[in-house]
Amino acid sequence: MRTQAVMGKTMADSTPTFEPWPRPPADAPHVVVIVLDDLGFAQLGCFGSDIATPAIDVVAAAGLRMNHFHVTSLCSPTRACLLTGRNHHAVGMGFLTDIPVGLPGYHARIPRSAATLPRLLRDNGYSTFAVGKWHLTPRWEQSSSGPFDRWPLGLGFERYYGFLNGDTNQWTPELVRDNAFVDAPRTPDDGYHLSEDLADSAIRMIQDQQQATPSKPFFLYFATGATHAPHHAPPAWIERYRGRFDDGWEVWRRRAFDRQVEMGIVPAGTTLSERPSWVPAWTELPADQQRLSARMMEAFAGFLSYTDAQIGRVLTFLESIDGLDNTLVFILSDNGASAEGGPIGSFNEHRFIHDRLDDPNDTLARVDEIGGFRAYNHYPWGWAWAGNTPLRLWKRYTWLGGVRTPLIARWPRRISAAREIRSQFCHAIDVMPTIMDAVGIAVPDCVDGVTQRHVDGASLLPLFVDANTPAPRRTQYFEMMGSRAIYHDGWKATTDHVGPQLSVEVERIPGSHDLDTDHWALFDLRQDFAEAHDVGHHHPERLKGLIEQWWIEAGRNDVLPVMDSFLGRVTALIPSPWGPRWRAVLRPGGGPVSEDALPPLGGGFRLLAELCVNDAADGVLCALGDWSNGWAWYLLQGRPVLTFNMLGEVFRYTAAEPLPAGRHALLAEYDWKGKASTMRLAVDGKMVAEGPLPRRMPLRWQIGGAGLLVGRDRGFPVCDDYRPPFPFRGTLERIVLEVPALAPRDALLETAAALHRE
Q: What is the pLDDT of residues 620-641, one digit of tens each?
A: 999 999 999 999 999 999 999 9
Length of the chain: 758
Percentage of the residues of the chain whose pLDDT score is greater than 70: 97
User: Does residue 509 sit in helix, strand or coil?
Assistant: coil
Give the model's confidence band at 334: pLDDT under 50 very low, under 70 low, under 90 confident, else very high: very high
Asked whether residue 377 carries a pLDDT value surpassing 60, the answer given is: yes
Judge contact between 404 and 266, C-beta under 8 A: no
Give the model's confidence band at 698: pLDDT under 50 very low, under 70 low, under 90 confident, else very high: confident
Say what the pLDDT of residue 234 is.
Answer: 98
Read off the pLDDT of each residue in 34-51 and give the average, rounded to a whole number: 98
Query: pTM here?
Result: 0.95
Say what the pLDDT of residue 754 is.
Answer: 41
Could you tell me how far CA 749 lies from the centroid of its own chain? Answer: 48
Say what the pLDDT of residue 745 is.
Answer: 67
Read off the pLDDT of each residue in 206-213 and give the average, rounded to a whole number: 96
Domains of the chain and CATH, by start: 30-473 (3.40.720.10), 583-742 (2.60.120.200)
Asked whether residue 752 carries a pLDDT value surpassing 60, the answer given is: no
Say what the pLDDT of residue 751 is.
Answer: 41
Q: Give the full edge-to-edge strand order of the sheet including 475-480.
A: 475-480, 483-488, 491-495, 520-524
Asked whether residue 24 carries a pLDDT value surpassing 50, the answer given is: yes
Q: Give the full edge-to-edge strand order of the sheet including 639-646.
A: 593-594, 707-710, 619-626, 629-636, 639-646, 649-654
Asked whether residue 305 carries a pLDDT value surpassing 90, the answer given is: yes
Say what the pLDDT of residue 750 is.
Answer: 40
CA 296 to CA 318: how far, in whole Å? 34
Give the model's confidence band at 579: pLDDT under 50 very low, under 70 low, under 90 confident, else very high: confident
Percentage of the residues of the chain whose pLDDT score is greater than 90: 85
Asked whether residue 748 carries a pLDDT value surpassing 60, the answer given is: no
* Helix H or strand E encompassing 680: strand 678-683
**Worst-scoring range by mean pLDDT, 135-149, 350-364, 412-426?**
350-364
Asked whether residue 749 carries a pLDDT value surpassing 50, the answer given is: no
Asked whether residue 272 carries a pLDDT value surpassing 90, the answer given is: yes
Q: What is the mean pLDDT of the chain?
A: 94
Say what the pLDDT of residue 603 is.
Answer: 82
Ramachandran angles phi, psi of 9, nearest 5°: -70, -35
Give the model's confidence band at 191: pLDDT under 50 very low, under 70 low, under 90 confident, else very high: very high
Say what the pLDDT of residue 746 is.
Answer: 57
Say what the pLDDT of residue 755 is.
Answer: 40
* Helix H or strand E encompassing 437: helix 431-439
Asked whether residue 248 carries a pLDDT value surpassing 80, the answer given is: yes
Read off the pLDDT of each residue in 196-203 and give the average, rounded to a whole number: 98
